[in-house]
Structure 1
Amino acid sequence: MKKNHLILICLCFLCVFNAKAQDNYQAGFAILNDGTRISGLISVYDTDPWFNQRFIYLKDSAAVAADPTKNVNAKKYTADELKYYKIGERTFTKIHYVDAENLQLKSLGSNDHLLEVLALGRINTYRFYPYPQDAFASLVSEEDVRQQIKRDHDNKLKSWKMLAQKGDDAKYRNVFDYDLQKYFEDTPEVLEKYQKGGYGNESISAKKGLAARMMSMAKKATYMPIQWESIVAAIKDYNQKNSAAK
């Protein structure tokens, strides 16, 4: 198509990604809202992980056992039907969270997401991926729209949030934009180790001027997602030391 033609693409690219991702199945089980457990092979969407948050396709273990080729029909279960599901060592549990920075038409239907658990205890921590755009509408060429879709997809993979919720505080905070020292201040041993970079994280200076603080904030936005494993290690250590206070 030539430029200046109006191109409107609504969710069709999601359907393409969905069809490809369904070919990847791993052993696991799901727990429905009524407590029913269903074991089998569960779809995994590592290249489009936001699908993991909305639904799964599950091939029942009994049907798989009866067909060695595993060429059996899979049943779809949505976030509305599931409490949680587990694939290998990874657990995805239902969390109610409103992504105010990325409200879209499909997001208005449900704010329940099946999020991967990173840490549980006094501080619960989850991985949340923002969803790709519902639609692209622009006066550009078809190739430009394809590139726009790819950029949006790649940006969403990089801009995931580590949501944390501590104790009785019902609010989920994005750890990458939050001062974790506030979470750790009631456990000085963890706080000091975190400040010194003892978990593999970047060390934190207690006293900084305005310019230094601004540079630190910019670096934090860049490096925090890269250091996520170190952050999880700090949170797990905190949880272990506060195991009696959940």
Structure 2
Amino acid sequence: MSSGNSNLLVSCKNKSGAEKHYLPALKAAGWAGTVLLVTPGDPLPDLAGIAGLLLTGGDDIHPRHWDEAEAVHLKADVDAGRDGFEIPLVRAAWERRLPILGICRGEQVLNVALGGSLVQDIPDHYGCEPSRHQHGTPDQPDMRHRVQLAPGSRLRALLGEDVFLVNSRHHQAVKRVAPLLAAVGWHLDTVHAATGPLVEAVETTDPTRWVFGVQWHPENLVGLKGPAGDAARDLFAAFVKAIGHR
């Protein structure tokens, strides 16, 4: 359980959406401290009083952040405001060794900020049907595909499952994994000959840090019974525990 004077920073596209979909999951996991919601319109926060950083879902990341020569994909919906706000925020949080949890876009911006790259459009890159990773809504999650976790990974140990169903609402994904991270989860049915299976989860390679990113939306799954709900609850509980230990 976190202490009452702890501050958790949540970076989001809009505060009402974060309050509806992310805060209940944090509170259910035992978070009792203050939640500070920030959007690109806010000043970059001072991290001195922050115990952890949650990066939420949202729109796409501009390719100039990993390759100046790469053009924006026709299907990309870039959120330059969040890029400019969150990339420095991730790097500052990393420098302070804060626990970081990235969800969907949050996983992607975590990877980019630490030196990785993205697939700009999954159907184009992997040659799969456009709907494969676009199902359901935040209020009505649609469990359509399985995630396979690396057996020896810290994420596997935290979640207690090797394979489980997830919801999937994204058209970008991790391509080149940042040097400070490792891919530890995949969708094995979406594969490219050069880049391998689609990355669904990453974690820090530094065992003294708590930094994880997942491509699915566990905040929408915490109320479900079964392995997917268990994994979602375990992820938020581990995050809250990590923050409480700072």
Range of TM-score over shorter length? under 0.3
Which is richer in helix? 1
State TM-score, norm by structure 2: 0.27
Larger Rg: 1
1 or 2 for the larger relative contact order (CA 8 Å, sep ≥6)?
2
State TM-score, norm by structure 1: 0.27
